[in-house]
């Protein structure tokens, strides 16, 4: 599969409002959206740095994926999201090539994107999300 660009960098945070204030104060960035994704048990906040998007992720439940991550590793970089064309085909291709999938089919993520995660055990320890914006 060939991603076109990094769609976003996901950062796990304990306190979304405090982290938004940090990025706004220290880096003079503007949070352009806060969105809850109940299915993923997260609240997200978005910033653009030039053409690169940062996604802050706060867990809404300790048992959610981000809550578990923070409990184990603390705050920090959580995942990289690669924009790909035809996400369904990419998932089939990845599976055929022995990559363990977290999502066999795309589901809806923040900002209306179709998203799917590849398991970090299959991707050298980096949680990789592939995503497609079907609206464009
Ligand atoms: N980066 C690297 N490794 C990770 C990881 C991460 N972000 N999250 C978990 N792992 C590792 C764990 O440390 C664990 O390793 P060990 O077995 O060596 O202890 C292993 O992966 C399994 O982790 P787990 O939490 O015990 O088990 P699960 O398989 O249930 O969950 C994962 C792992 C990655 C599937 C889960 O954390 C997940 O689904 N994350 C994605 C959810 C997410 O980020 N949603 C936000 C989407 C918002 C959007 O962008 O739209």
- What is the residue with the minimal CA distance to atom 36 of ligand 1? 65
Long-range contacts of 39-47 (CB under 8 A, 24+ apart): 39/107, 39/108, 40/64, 40/65, 40/66, 40/109, 41/65, 41/66, 41/67, 42/66, 43/16, 44/110, 45/16, 45/19, 45/20, 46/8, 46/110, 46/111, 47/23
- What's this model's pTM, rounded to 2 decimal places? 0.93
pLDDT (tens digit per residue) in 35-77: 999 989 999 999 999 999 999 999 999 889 999 999 999 999 9
49 CA distance to ligand 1 centroid (A)?
26
- What is the residue with the minimal CA distance to atom 46 of ligand 1? 40
């Amino acid at each position: 599969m060939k991603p076109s660009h990094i769609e976003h960098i996901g950062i796990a945070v304990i306190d979304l409002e405090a982290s938004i204030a940090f990025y706004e104060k220290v880096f003079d960035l503007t949070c352009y959206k806060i969105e809850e994704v109940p299915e993923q048990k997260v609240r997200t906040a978005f910033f653009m740095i030039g053409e690169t998007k940062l996604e802050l992720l706060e867990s809404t439940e300790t048992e959610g994926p981000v809550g578990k991550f923070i409990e184990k590793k603390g705050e920090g970089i959580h995942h990289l999201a690669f924009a790909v064309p035809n996400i369904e085909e990419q998932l089939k291709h990845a599976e055929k090539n022995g990559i363990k999938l977290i999502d066999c089919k795309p589901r809806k993520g923040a900002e209306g994107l179709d998203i799917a995660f590849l398991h970090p055990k299959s991707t050298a320890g980096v949680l990789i999300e592939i995503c497609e914006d079907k609206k464009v």
